[in-house]
A and B are shown apart, each in its own frame.
Chain A
Amino acid sequence: MSDLKRTPLRDFHAAHGARLVDFAGWEMPVQYRSILEENKAVRRTAGLFDVGHMGEVDVKGPGAARFLDHLVTNDVSKLFPGRVIYSPMCYPNGGVVDDLLVYMRAPEDYFLCINAGNIAKDVAWLREQAKGFAVTVTDRSDDYALIAVQGPKAAAIVQTLTGAKLDAIRYYHFAEGTVAGVHCIISRTGYTGEDGFELYHAKGDALALAEAVMKAGAPHGLELVGLGARDSLRLEAGYPLYGHEIAADISPLTAGIGWTVKLDKADFIGRAALLAEKTNGAPQQVVFFKTGDRRIVRADTPVLGADGTVVGRVLSGTLSPILNEAIGSALVATSSAGKPLAVDIRGTLIQFQLVKPPFVTLKKSS
């Protein structure tokens, strides 16, 4: 795996028994002990994730606010310093370039967090779209490391390491401060559906910070959590994953995250196509399902309508450790979405029970 990129915590993971795999060109821990047990630890106590592969971009300048509002589908004008917003950014046809977090640090100073597999594509897209706006776009992905501490005990654990008043940082807000002596963007966000923090920091500080969090978390039952459990946690929460529920050919409306598309704001890339989709209806839609069966319904499995014809395909599928049954998402013909859907797994027809996510009761703060 010598060609793979590494986060500063790669050796830390190996020393903690991680199984390292290629994820989007990065050598990342998929699990330490057990994907199922790591998932449960996050729901019950807390988990520490290395998400240092994610990309970071600075967007600065007098035109930054207008540029970002043109770029993404959600309403960036609602931001104020210390506030974060989740948004897709779309192509003119309404397909998704990527989904990202937009942080407003100060007027004219914004910070984006983007998916690891999309960094080069996104930065090129941002620079192209920035033409004509008074902004500078700087890829900071090589400067930042990122860990997430997630779960009902996350706040108690992080609070032991910082003088920042974490109670004052509400969900989808952030503050800058030190955690275990390391300067961090302390962001009350995550990808698990639990309360928790994402801590952006300089790469050189990553090992010290991770070890401090591990030590502080041990009495609370904090566990290291790999990308395997990260995927089942986000699917239980009903959060989209780029390349699965949202993609260049799956719009945010099709994906069921229309709340992130503000058609009433000023013009933005993809608005006309998304308005047409909203007006005319989309031919396909993303649905979430559970099956009452433990057999995992894997991505790309054909979805069958009541008459046995293929009406769609599975986008994501895993076993929910909390529900102890298969859960997933699928892209299906809109005309079939209210009717019985099933998949054939090794000769057994398994019926979908459609679910409006989240699949589990979430305890994230608000």
Chain B
Amino acid sequence: MDPRLLPPIPTPPAQRWREVRLLYLPRAMFVAAIVLVAWMWGDAVAPATLVAEAEISGADSRATQAGVVAGLKVALHQKVRAGEVLGHIAAANPRLLDATLAVIRADVAMLGATMAGATDRQRVVLELARMQLDWMGQRVERAALQGRLQQTEADLARTAPLHRAGLVTDEAYTQLKITRDSLVAQQDETNRMIARLEPILSGQNAPSATAAELSGESALAAAIKVQEAKLRLAEEQLSPVPLVSPIDGVVSLVLRREGEAVVAGEAVLRVTATKPARLTGYVRQPLAFDPKPGMTAEIRTRSTPAKVAVTTITQVGAALETISPSVLAAMRLPPTPAPETALRVEFALPVSLGLRPGEHVDVVVR
């Protein structure tokens, strides 16, 4: 047998695969890993020039006068429109109003008592005045009822969840409802009485000046007018002041609950816009570059998967400002970083990213 004439024996596929597996696969894997890292590097590793925040535009709905929060119609995260009534402020302390009404009631009664001993002619005029006083008396009653009803409604609203939780007995809760229904019924009845008297009184003429001078009706009419003005003031104070949403958005914070007392100017609700107003970032010191309006910047979201968009700088701050705590936290600095000042830069908001208010993004300024 001459070995020179013998060809190499064939290598079976399993043996070829073994060669590939042991010799080439580790190298292929190494190259593939390099390619993978290079591919992901731009998205996950490339350092950002700065961190920016989609700034929130928000506004508070405040009480325009002191009172008690009543009839809040919105809940947290509920969408509202600018000008929408979100609730009411029951104007004043019902006890104070009760006292005011009691004074008016006493004054009206005193005026009624002074009408005794008049002549027939005077009697006709005085009857008219008495009817006016009755009418006012009914309005005082209605105002008092309205105050009590508001108080009872607020109590009922506060008690309902406690009753559901079993912290208030059925008896107490039912009693409160009966009181409320009773007040509503009384108020309806008083409204009917006032409505019946009003057209009669509006059809009558005021007594003539001469007769008034002779009988002293002028003083009586003036006193009635004073009481009527006082009554109108009390009625105005009793009517609830609406809480209005200042902007379109969602209710992001409920600072005062129903039944809580507020002072004039106190915020009751915070409304936050659903879309951010601008994108703000800070160039930290030492300033690595001089940002100028019009410079191009790449915005990269931190969501999964990350979205990328190109935008421009719209404004650059004049002075170095303290970095906002939320942006400072988003910079992933070591724990408890010290506050620092930086140059504030605003970017045009890329619509394609669909950023939420408060969202943080990484920015690479080209």
Question: Are chains A and B native binding partners rather than an unrelated pairing?
Answer: no
